[in-house]
Amino acid sequence: MSRLLSKLSPLIHKSSRNIRSFSSSTTGPCVSICTVVEPSPDGNLGQVLLFNIPDMKLVTADKIYPDELYDAQLVGASHGWGLFSDRTNRSALISDYLNPYASKSKPKMIHLPFFTPMYSGQTEVVCNVAMSSPPPDQDDDHEDWVVGIKFLGRQLSLCRPRRDLRWTNILTPFESWEISKLMYSKKDQRFYLLAPGGNYLCSWDLNFKEDKKPKFHELVLHNLPNMPRSLWKQLDSYGREDHWVESPSGESFLVKWFCEYSPENTSNWCKSPIVMVFREEETKDGRKNMRYTDDIGDLCIFISKGEDFCVKASSCPGLQPNSISLHGRLFAILNLTKRTMGCYEYPQGIPKRIPYLPYWLPPFSP
């Protein structure tokens, strides 16, 4: 049996008064706060606001706001690229507009095929987007670049942008709600989708056009945390999210995030979380053996409504190793070594009212 992260501490990140424009140094991981747009005779002027986690500062990047994004809404993020959707005509595109180092006047815009709902599906609500890699340059081979979008319900849509004229729509074997996340494994070259309950994984390889049937993987949990039976029973009444994450070296983790709701306190409607992390040890006969751990080493796991990812703390000075950063029901960091939790606070200098954009963005470099 192992320890469980459940202790609340005063590890609170205070608001920073510092504001910096991006420089030659690496920015991120960060949070997309919003874009402030001002009309101008020379085109709409936009300012991207990002919350840089390593130094807890507000990062601003001035850009021309593209006309293509004027009626679009940010509905997902993967590899630092945003998925923007226009609900009026079901059009969608992928853009590097949120990247502070991208072109100020001409950010990259990659238009995707129009969404086509299946008979028993819908395309109005997007759960999340996952990509096999960042978009390659225009002249490079696009064969291995695949975009996957999981919609609320059972519909999964995959395509190779710049090559496919329409989506390949797949009816998943189970209903997926908002917390059901699609992710791409670079090691396995497969798209993974956790089944409700977090006991099974479904996966599709890059030959999805020829074979739409998923491959099933059972997740067997070992070395469960040492908790009283009453607490295990209490967890059944908590809200829970299951996340499948892959590290830069190819390690796989199952993260279970439990949260008790507090409806009487609307300003803090989700109480301190309980998080369990399971590391994949081996896969045999379709079973993935997952062992509970409170030590993920130099890694930081970032969980949000976008595609989850891992970063080495040593690669981004200021990050806490062996930690998990959450954005969604909570905006907080969990330190697995100290068994503490601290809530992030947005820095000063942002608008009083901002949209709900719970997306972590990975580090950006010039």
User: Has residue 263 been placed in a domain?
Assistant: yes
DSSP state of 67: G
User: Has residue 21 been placed in a domain?
Assistant: no
Q: How far is residue 111's CA from residue 307's CA, in Å, rounded to a whole number?
A: 20
Residue 361 phi/psi, 5-degree rounding, is -120, 135
User: Has residue 161 been placed in a domain?
Assistant: yes
Work out the number of other CB atoms within 10 angstroms of the CB of residue 160: 17
pLDDT over 90 at 185, yes or no: yes
- Predicted confidence at residue 271, as pLDDT, reads 62
- Predicted confidence at residue 10, as pLDDT, reads 30
- CATH at residue 112: 2.120.10
Q: How far is residue 303's CA from residue 195's CA, in Å, rounded to a whole number?
A: 18
Number of domains in the chain: 1
Q: Can you give the residue range of the structural domain that contains 172?
A: 30-350+357-361
Q: pLDDT tens digits, residue range 147-162?
A: 999 999 999 999 999 8
Check: CB of residue 311 under 8 Å from CB of residue 29: yes
User: Has residue 214 been placed in a domain?
Assistant: yes
User: Has residue 6 been placed in a domain?
Assistant: no
User: Has residue 2 been placed in a domain?
Assistant: no
Q: pLDDT tens digits, residue range 263-295?
A: 554 444 456 688 999 999 988 888 999 999 999
pLDDT over 50 at 338, yes or no: yes
User: Has residue 4 been placed in a domain?
Assistant: no
Q: Which helix (H) or strand (E) holds 235?
A: helix 229-235
Q: Which residue's structure tokens are 């502070």?
A: 100
Q: pLDDT tens digits, residue range 29-50?
A: 999 898 888 877 777 888 999 9
Predicted model pTM: 0.89
User: Has residue 15 been placed in a domain?
Assistant: no
Residue 364 phi/psi, 5-degree rounding, is -110, 145
Burial class from Cβ neighbours inside 10 Å (0-12, 13-18, 19+) for residue 214 reads: buried
